[in-house]
């Protein structure tokens, strides 16, 4: 919870990884997603029920 994983997520994104964060409206606790979005670690922000579709969209 919070920003503990954001550094790694940002490094992954900078290295070319595709990253997704859950949106605030569908989160029970928005701490990690909020930090990832705020600090640029999330490439795509979607509701929980659309994460699978988002993953497929990011795949070549």
What DSSP assignment string belongs to 1-60?
Answer: -TTTTHHHHHHHHHTT---EEE-GGG-SS-HHHHHHHHTT--SEEE-GGGHHHHHHHH--
pLDDT at 41: 92
Q: Read off the pLDDT of residues 16-50 as tens digits, 9 standing for 90 and up.
A: 999 999 999 999 999 889 999 999 999 999 999 99
CB 11 within 8 A of CB 19: no
54 pLDDT exceeds 80?
yes
3 pLDDT exceeds 90?
no
pTM of this prediction exceeds 0.85? no
């Amino acid at each position: 919870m919070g920003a503990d994983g954001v550094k790694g997520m940002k490094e992954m994104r900078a290295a070319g990884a595709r990253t997704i964060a859950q949106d605030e409206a569908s989160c029970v606790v928005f701490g990690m997603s909020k930090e990832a979005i705020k600090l640029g670690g999330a490439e795509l922000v979607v509701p929980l029920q659309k994460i699978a579709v988002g993953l497929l969209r990011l795949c070549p």
